[in-house]
Amino acid sequence: MIKCEYIDKIYKDEVVIENFTYEFENTGFYLLFGESGSGKTTFLNILAGLLSYEKGQVVIEGNEYENIVDKEYMSQKADYITQDTFFVDFLDILDNLKMINNDEEGIKQSLDRFGLLSKLKEYPSKLSGGEKQRLAIVRSLMNGKKILLLDEPTASLDNENKIKVFELLSQIKDEVLIVCSSHDQ
């Protein structure tokens, strides 16, 4: 689905990504692991079409991009989820998800699958960080996204919630392509 060939990204005089070549399958879980400042977020921004690159080519579903990926195309295919999730705070979880998909039964099934059904009438501000991360993933899947770009999704979570989020990602890795950055062991 995504093929990167000889990608270079340079900020001023600092080479952040050099000669990166890799092919991501249509589904699966890919972890970008490394210290802060190692280029993980930069790479996700390149894939999302939010950042240009100096050299190389990115091929997504046969579409070839040089210097920058088409942001509009990627926004149709992918969701970019950061450690800071965003929801409409004055709407409960059900109504937040109804903005994407009006199938109330489908919403309930999705929330149940990810251990959030009991939060249906809660407001986002009442959810824990781990619950917000799982809800963001539910929202992406309900919106039909086939690519999840996750930037440090567990950075601000306690160990128990980190495990829950990674277990969830493991459950859905055969359904979608997940490219996740992390420095968590």
Convert the pLDDT of each residue in 94-105 to its tens digit: 999 999 999 999
Greater confidence, 154 or 8? 8
pLDDT at residue 74 above 90? yes
Report the mean per-residue pLDDT for the chain. 91
**pLDDT value for 71:** 95
Pick 170 or 35 by higher pLDDT: 170
The alpha carbon torsion through 172, 109, 165, 4 (nearest 10 deg) reads: 30
Per-residue confidence (pLDDT) for residue 83, from 0 to 100 = 78
pLDDT (0 to 100) of residue 185: 66
Of residues 159 and 45, the one with the higher pLDDT is 45
**Sign of CA pseudo-dihedral 158, 172, 75, 39:** positive
pTM of the model: 0.90
Give residue 139's pLDDT: 92
pLDDT value, residue 34: 82
Using pLDDT thresholds of 50, 70 and 90, give the confidence band for residue 178. very high
Count how many residues are written for the chain. 185
Write out the DSSP string of 122-176: S-GGGS-HHHHHHHHHHHHHHTT-SEEEEESTTTTS-HHHHHHHHHHHHHHTTTS
Quote the percentage of the chain above a pLDDT of 70: 99
Q: What is the pLDDT of residue 94?
A: 96
pLDDT at residue 153 tops 90: no
> Can you give the pLDDT at residue 162?
82
pLDDT score at 16: 93
Q: Compute the average pLDDT of residues 33-45.
A: 89
- The residue with tokens 């809660």 is 122
Confidence (pLDDT) at 62? 92
